[in-house]
Amino acid sequence: MELKSFSYNSMSTFEIAKSCSTFFSNSRHKFGVRYSNEFNCNRGLFLKTYSASDESCFAAVTTSSHSVDGINGSTPSLYYRNLLLGAFDDEYGGVVIDPNRLPQDSYAFASMLCLSLSHWKKLGKKGIWLKLPLEKSDLVPVAVKEGFEYHHAEPGYVMLTYWIPEGPCMLPANASHQVGIGGFVINDNDEVLVVQEKHCSPATLGLWKIPTGFIHEAEEIYTGAVREVKEETGIDTDFIEVIAFRHVHNVAFEKSDLFFICMLRPLSSSITVDDHEIEAAKWMPLVEFVEQPLIQEDSMFKKIVDIFIARLGKRYCGLSTHQVVSKFDGKISSLYYNVIDNDDANCVGK
């Protein structure tokens, strides 16, 4: 069964309701349609639709002369409002559909989505956000047929969007980057904390490398570096600064990658290996670490080591983290920058 497409802008609300009733009439094995004169007053025609699966009732009351305003406007007719999807405005002139008030039946969702889009178009809304939980995945084909597009997905839901105005879509794109971190940890004996991973590419087989990983959602760069070192080696550390970062594209599923190399101070020395990810871990003399063929033959690895050694010799300053609050959003942010005019600074800026 298909919901026939039509131009929302060229039809009155009554005509839209009539089109939807035609849809129901043509699908009597799923819906029964009844017209009632009980509310046939100055408000117009009262249309009831009954789902054969759950007997849920939706009502629409409107005529071309009956003003129906919407979100953040005057309250629309109660009966008409019952046929619209529950939603709220966003701050950019768009609409966010409430995922907690979605109908259970896909046919009811189709009719409500049809009327809701018409309603939002008449109100001049722009972007529509539709978050469908995993348990409502059967509604995805309905939304796609109506013109929604995939935006992003997480383990528990898929987000779809619909752009109403003519011209290019101005909604923000999905996240374009993944963020990784590496922890350079060196002790008082000039030994670097290194690991060999259980699962690695053939190109890095046998390489002793610094602990690395990915930042978690809502996690700071510096806390992520400390966490990864702890998880892989059992070593507790303090963050000192970011000494460099790499930016590369088309790494995983056409996404870009930001990789931050952090200098950390060890607070413990006894290594406990993470058996799930790490094959081995140890403290390796800095000279031995630098002389590994895979590091000497790779210009990027070699440059990172050169920067690290320059930082140890106080010939280079990295980026330390500072907590600041912006009046634009009122949130605490971590601002990373180089401090070279502080008497307590332990490096010399160039």
DSSP collapsed to 3 states, the chain:
CCCCCCCCCCCCHHHHHHHHHHHHHCCCCCEEEEEEEEEEECCEEEEEEEECCCCCEEEEEECCCCCCCCCCCCCCCHHHHCCCCCEEECCCCCEEECHHHCCCCHHHHHHHHHHHHHHHHHCCCCEEEEEEEHHHHHHHHHHHHCCCEEEEEECCEEEEEEECCCCCCCCCCCCCEEEEEEEEEECCCCEEEEEEECCCCHHHCCCCECCEEECCCCCCHHHHHHHHHHHHHCCCEEEEEEEEEEEEEEEECCEEEEEEEEEEEECCCCCCCCCCCEEEEEEEEHHHHHCCHHHHCCHHHHHHHHHHHHHHCCCCCCEEEEEEECCCCCCEEEEEECCCCCCCCCCCCC
Percent of the chain exceeding pLDDT 90 equals 61
Q: What is the mean pLDDT of residues 78-95?
A: 87
Single-letter residue type at 181: I
pLDDT band for 82, please (50, 70, 90 cuts): confident
Percent of the chain exceeding pLDDT 70 equals 74
Q: Model confidence over 121-153: pLDDT tens digits?
A: 999 999 999 999 999 999 999 999 999 999 999
pLDDT given at position 252 = 82
pLDDT band for 79, please (50, 70, 90 cuts): low
Average pLDDT of the chain, as a whole number: 80
Q: Which two tokens stand for residue 160?
A: 């779809």
Model's pTM, two decimal places? 0.70
pLDDT given at position 44 = 33
Q: What is the mean pLDDT of residues 3-26?
A: 42
pLDDT given at position 342 = 55
pLDDT band for 43, please (50, 70, 90 cuts): very low
Is the predicted pLDDT of residue 205 greater than 90, yes or no? Answer: no
Is the predicted pLDDT of residue 172 greater than 80, yes or no? Answer: yes
pLDDT given at position 278 = 94
pLDDT given at position 73 = 45
CA distance 25 to 328: 53
Q: What is the mean pLDDT of residues 112-127?
A: 95
Q: What is the mean pLDDT of residues 39-61?
A: 34
pLDDT given at position 12 = 42
Contacts of 7 (CB under 8 A, 6+ apart): none
